[in-house]
Structure 1
Amino acid sequence: MSCPLEQLPNELLDYIIAVLAPEPPSLSQLHLPPQLHLIHSKPQDKYLKHLALTSRHFLDLTRPILFQHACLELKDEPDFRIFLTRSGLNRYVTSLVAISPSTPVYPDDPAWWRRVLRYLDPNRITLLAPPAFIGQTLDVSIQGGFNWAFEIDLQILQLGRDTGHPRDLSSLPDQTYCTNLLAARPWTSMTFNESSSLKAYHHYEYFLGRVPSFLGEWGFTLRQLEQDSEERDIDAEPPASPYLTGMLEALNKFSYIAVFPFFNHMDLILKTISTMINLQQLSFQLAPDVNNHATELEQRGSLDPNDPWMELESAYSIIGWHINQHPSITEFQSRDFHVEAIREDLVLLLEENMGTGWTHDGDGTWRRDTLD
């Protein structure tokens, strides 16, 4: 005998299910320090699962929503594939969190995405992994000479795309000759949580260290190209890397999260962003989150508490200049306005270097003025 709730029209049941469907924790925790709890749901987020267990009818109605957001530990990929494909659940997956606590003793395969994208076609992929593994996934070799100083265990890379087209899993593109995840789909947005550089501030001449970061490696490559061009012909236009430009030109939204990156590292990040020729929305978060007390904890050591804030303000001075040089950007957001002590300085630094033609909403977002 069915319960009264099941007798409601499907339109109402769909609405109830939509209300019960939670936002995946990987979105709400994307700007926090990268940790394995990125995928942990709150107890109230499990109401939809409880509803699915009440009857076969509710299971059928909730299944497309329950399996929209999948989580995969890469070591379990064979079992993951079998479970999804045999049950036909792979057609429901629209976002995927892939986790690799890869170690030299138990390494995961950085080409994991070639196999996964044969049976899934998600609109969003989030990879939580060590810097070197993320680099390998993007066909980038991370220079490891200074990794010990930063002690960065995990970073987060998220790639997304806007598509309303139904996924035809029978005709997915062949990835055999694709060299990296960024080229595997027409991604239009990227978020990179680089983690914290605070540990490195304890070391003498900390600013000489290279952050383990694929974005930094790309920026370093671009800087080398510029220097080579200047040596050949001082009047020549510095060439961009066709390899980088081809992968990044489709991006129209980019978010960068880090904790106190060095000024010279930010210059490399911004060189990479300059190749995103169709970028429209840009977001930065360079200070710890409002609930992150990492700075206070690190001050117990040899860290000079003034150094990280000095590097942050210097970084914002060149961020404003680069935005002014990037004509396609129409919106810029600073996610550091929760730090009241630096808010006024950030506004002054950005507006001085961004030039005219921008409107600030007072809460960290600038929009480029457009003519009617």
Structure 2
Amino acid sequence: MQLLELPNEILERIISFHDTESPFDIGLLEKPKSALAPQECGDDGIRLMSIPPTANKQYPLKVLTLTCRLIRSLTLPILFKHAVLHPLLLSDFLSFLKKHNLPHRVSSLVAHLSGHYNHVHPAWWARLLNEVPATSLGIVAPPEVFAELAGIHSWSNDAWAFDMPLQILRFDQSLDAARTRIDYDDLPNFLLARPWENMLYNEGSSLSAYTTYEFFLRRTPSLLTALHFNSSAAGDSLFANLLGFSFVAIFPFYNHVDEVLKCIRKMKKLQRLLIKLCPQPDSTAFHDEMEIAGGALDVHDPWNECETSWMLIAHTVLFLTVEGDLGELHMDDVQIEGVRDNLEHSLNERLHERWRYQEQGSGIWRKIFQEDKGGRETSPG
């Protein structure tokens, strides 16, 4: 029997073995980079992510779409399960999805914004969310663009010192929430466009700012800093309903981490918290930026800031132990062998009475639950 003689259900099953997680998610904990570069033009002028075959797990799916019409029709729903787009090409993107009956097949979206798009009406994000019920929306953009989306002042007078061309914001929502409609004539604040359940914010690297005079006085260009100092009502409403939050940065200043933690303290319903303050173990970010700095960076400064940040994080975790629902803390920096013992000791020393470290090297702490006299689980204290 020839391959094309097999029932469509079996062909779909064969193709499904090439289904993968979003390629975009692979780099979520690394220094942000463009979601659209390098690029190529796809069907109907849609710009698709083009990565060398050895690095792109979706490459077999792209090859399958070129084999024949039948295989192509069966492959497209998986190929576009995770889609990347530019807001200025939104109409073409939506037309392509409708033409191939794909809107409900897309589970995650990534939009790359190179600049401001307030002139687009209705708002590109409202059209996108209304017409594609994906449960995950990621945005790659300069920090000032996130402030614009949130409708607040950017607080980025020191942006030049940090050299953060791109940052990443990602929201997750339930499938039911994804199916609700946004009123174009009564647009909500972007932060409240959906009842977002999970949020990830990757700020990128602060290393270049360490080369400036009195670096600790510099204010990080950050959506979270802007939300904190603007006392944003939309930001507070967003924080109040989050169940999961991830903060990723490369050697942020401890006073900036304190600003972020003030936002986290507003997340009373938060159940899971992930924080990462160092580069990936195999990252060359530190070496690369040291070379650019030409030796004008004291290597001890970033690590000292990191150690102080860990203590502040422990205090916030204890606060949410009593005042919130936090049940799991994930400190991803334990992957770095050189800081693992110090990090584990620092947090264990402060959390041991209320939190249990799951396993040495895991980076995961979970709140200790006790049984009351009625046999129900309660948090200590």
TM-score by length of 2: 0.84
Given that residues 74 and 108 in structure 1 are in contact (C-alpha distance below 8 angstroms), is that contact kept between their aligned partners in structure 2? Answer: no
For residue 257 of structure 1, report the CA deviation from its aligned partner: 0.6
Alignment partner of 2:131: what SS? coil
Letter in 2 for 1:314: T
- 1:98 aligned to 2:111? yes
How far apart in 1 are the matches of 2:35 and 2:102? Answer: 25
Match of 1:70 among 73, 83, 107: 83
Counterpart of 2:43? none
Counterpart of 1:365? 364
Counterpart of 1:320? 314
How far apart in 1 are the matches of 2:226 and 2:183? Answer: 28
- 1:202 aligned to 2:211? yes
Match of 1:125 among 134, 137, 149: 137
For residue 70 of structure 1, report the CA deviation from its aligned partner: 1.4
For residue 109 of structure 1, report the CA deviation from its aligned partner: 5.1
Alignment partner of 1:325: what SS? helix
How far apart in 2 are the matches of 1:98 and 1:183? Answer: 18
TM-score by length of 1: 0.85
Given that residues 81 and 105 in structure 2 are in contact (C-alpha distance below 8 angstroms), is that contact kept between their aligned partners in structure 1? Answer: yes
Counterpart of 2:46? none
Alignment partner of 2:203: what SS? strand
For residue 41 of structure 1, report the CA deviation from its aligned partner: 4.2
For residue 128 of structure 1, report the CA deviation from its aligned partner: 0.5
For residue 86 of structure 1, report the CA deviation from its aligned partner: 4.0
Counterpart of 2:166? 154
- 1:213 aligned to 2:187? no
Counterpart of 1:84? 97
For residue 348 of structure 1, report the CA deviation from its aligned partner: 1.8
Given that residues 75 and 108 in structure 1 are in contact (C-alpha distance below 8 angstroms), is that contact kept between their aligned partners in structure 2? Answer: no
Q: Deviations over 1:329-348 (max 9, x none)?
A: 11111111122221111112
How far apart in 2 are the matches of 1:88 and 1:68? Answer: 12
Alignment partner of 2:17: what SS? helix
- 1:58 aligned to 2:56? no
How far apart in 2 are the matches of 1:176 and 1:120? Answer: 19
Counterpart of 1:144? 156
Counterpart of 2:252? 261
- In the TM superposition, structure 1's runs of 4+ consecutive aligned residues that sit over 4 Å from their partners are 37-42, 106-110, 165-168
Q: Pick closer, same or farther for the CA change 1:86–1:56 going to 2, 3 Å.
A: closer
How far apart in 1 are the matches of 2:20 and 2:106? Answer: 15
Given that residues 93 and 121 in structure 1 are in contact (C-alpha distance below 8 angstroms), is that contact kept between their aligned partners in structure 2? Answer: yes
For residue 30 of structure 1, report the CA deviation from its aligned partner: 0.9
Match of 1:309 among 299, 303, 324: 303
For residue 40 of structure 1, report the CA deviation from its aligned partner: 4.8
Q: Deviations over 1:149-171 (max 9, x none)?
A: 111100000111233x5976xx6
How far apart in 2 are the matches of 1:108 and 1:314? Answer: 43
Alignment partner of 1:249: what SS? helix
Alignment partner of 1:20: what SS? coil
Match of 1:279 among 257, 267, 270: 270
Letter in 1 for 2:124: W
Counterpart of 2:348? 351
For residue 280 of structure 1, report the CA deviation from its aligned partner: 0.5
Q: Deviations over 1:62-117 (max 9, x none)?
A: 232222211111222232233223443223222111001227xx998594212322
Alignment partner of 1:118: what SS? helix
Q: Deviations over 1:255-307 (max 9, x none)?
A: 11100111110111001111111111100110111222222333333111100
Match of 2:19 among 18, 21, 43: 21
Q: Deviations over 1:219-278 (max 9, x none)?
A: 2345xxxxxxxxxxxxxxxxxx65433222221111111001111101110011111111
For residue 10 of structure 1, report the CA deviation from its aligned partner: 4.6
For residue 11 of structure 1, report the CA deviation from its aligned partner: 4.6
Letter in 1 for 2:169: L
How far apart in 2 are the matches of 1:154 and 1:82? Answer: 28
Q: Pick closer, same or farther for the CA change 1:344–1:255 going to 2, 3 Å.
A: same
- 1:116 aligned to 2:156? no
Q: Deviations over 1:183-241 (max 9, x none)?
A: 1112111111101111100011111111111111222345xxxxxxxxxxxxxxxxxx6
Letter in 1 for 2:295: G
Counterpart of 1:290? 281
Counterpart of 1:228? none
Given that residues 252 and 305 in structure 2 are in contact (C-alpha distance below 8 angstroms), is that contact kept between their aligned partners in structure 1? Answer: yes
Letter in 1 for 2:193: A
Alignment partner of 2:245: what SS? strand
Alignment root-mean-square deviation, CA: 2.4
Single out whichever of 207-216 and 132-141 deviates more from structure 2.
Answer: 132-141
Aligned residues: 347
How far apart in 2 are the matches of 1:162 and 1:15? Answer: 26
Alignment partner of 1:283: what SS? strand
Given that residues 35 and 110 in structure 2 are in contact (C-alpha distance below 8 angstroms), is that contact kept between their aligned partners in structure 1? Answer: no
